[in-house]
Amino acid sequence: MAGRGYREFAEDLRRRIDAGEFVNDNKLPPIDQLMEEYGAAKQTIRSAIGVLADEGLVVPVRRAGTLIRHRTPVRVPLSRYGQVLAPGGAKGPWETATAAQGLDGDMRFVSVERVQADAQTAALLDLAEGDDLVYRVRQALIRPDDVVQIQQAWYPAAIAEASGLDRDGKLTGGVYGALTAAGHRPNTASETVGARTPTESEASQLRIGGRVFVLTLERVTRDAAGQPLEVLRAIAPADRLQFSYDNLPLET
């Protein structure tokens, strides 16, 4: 294959990845091996790998090599909410949805802090700008370390305190179970889904290239009286997550 350009090498590696040639190691051969195999210079091979990384097929990881990126889509149905309202359960919505597909899903706690509401978030929570909120960050993943979604959530401080959402650590059974146990049972969830290119930080956490679009989700959860309980904003690679809204009523 000497004399061919990096795009041709990228095309051949793409074909080999799709054919499952590297499934046992789950990564590409070392660059030196690819140089010898293709009769190409190191920079040419690196450029070919860069094309595949931008497309979301591989992830170059220092000292680990060029990993083949997981691309198994995860279907997340609307029914994931109703299944986890009873307090004391072992699984939250993400773990419930992934388990139904035979996947080992987990919700990883990242951080929690007190913040003041900005104008946009305050309006969604029916609060005043500057009111106290509890802000939680989590990662939805497939074990051991395949991060599929980044979640940021804001709660009115009093509701968060009553539900234990102001504490460090993962909530076994999920946020909805904790809210219900504290007397703030979620009743409706309004979701808005969009798409855009990822930021550098998002691409790094999700291990995707800049050409892989992300889905954006904004969800506002309310109780039966219409009081907002949570504003959640999440992002996920568009080739990994499928939001499913089954059996929605067409008449009200």
Question: Residues of the chain with pLDDT > 90: what percent?
Answer: 64
Angle CA 244–245–247, to nearest 5:
130
Q: Would you state the pLDDT for residue 81?
A: 62
Taking the C-alpha atoms of residue 202 and residue 192, their distance in angstroms, rounded to an integer, is: 19
Quick one: average pLDDT of 92-120? 92
> Tell me, what amino acid is at 12?
D
Q: Would you state the pLDDT for residue 140?
A: 94
Q: Would you state the pLDDT for residue 159?
A: 97
Task: Collapse the DSSP code of 84 into the 3-class scheme (helix H, G, I; strand E, B; otherwise coil) and give the result.
Answer: helix
Q: Would you state the pLDDT for residue 86?
A: 53
Question: Residues of the chain with pLDDT > 70: what percent?
Answer: 93
Q: Which residues make Cβ contacts (< 8 Å) with residue 198, sequence separation at least 6?
A: 206, 208, 210, 212, 213, 214, 235
- pLDDT of 124 above 90: yes
Give me the torsion for CA of 67, 57, 95, 115, rounded to 10°: 90
Q: What is the mean pLDDT of the chain?
A: 89
Q: Where are the domains of the chain?
A: 6-68, 74-244
- pLDDT of 248 above 80: no
Q: Would you state the pLDDT for residue 137?
A: 97
Q: Would you state the pLDDT for residue 94?
A: 87
Quick one: average pLDDT of 149-174? 94
Q: Could you tell me the pTM of the whole model?
A: 0.84
Q: What is the pLDDT of residues 212-229, one digit of tens each?
A: 899 999 999 999 999 999
Question: 74-244 sits in which CATH class?
Answer: alpha beta
Dihedral sign of CA atoms 150, 95, 160, 113 in order:
negative
**Residue pair 40/208 in contact by the 8 Å Cβ criterion:** no
Taking the C-alpha atoms of residue 43 and residue 165, their distance in angstroms, rounded to an integer, is: 49
Q: Would you state the pLDDT for residue 61?
A: 84
Quick one: average pLDDT of 181-209? 91
Question: 6-68 sits in which CATH class?
Answer: mainly alpha
Q: Would you state the pLDDT for residue 139?
A: 96
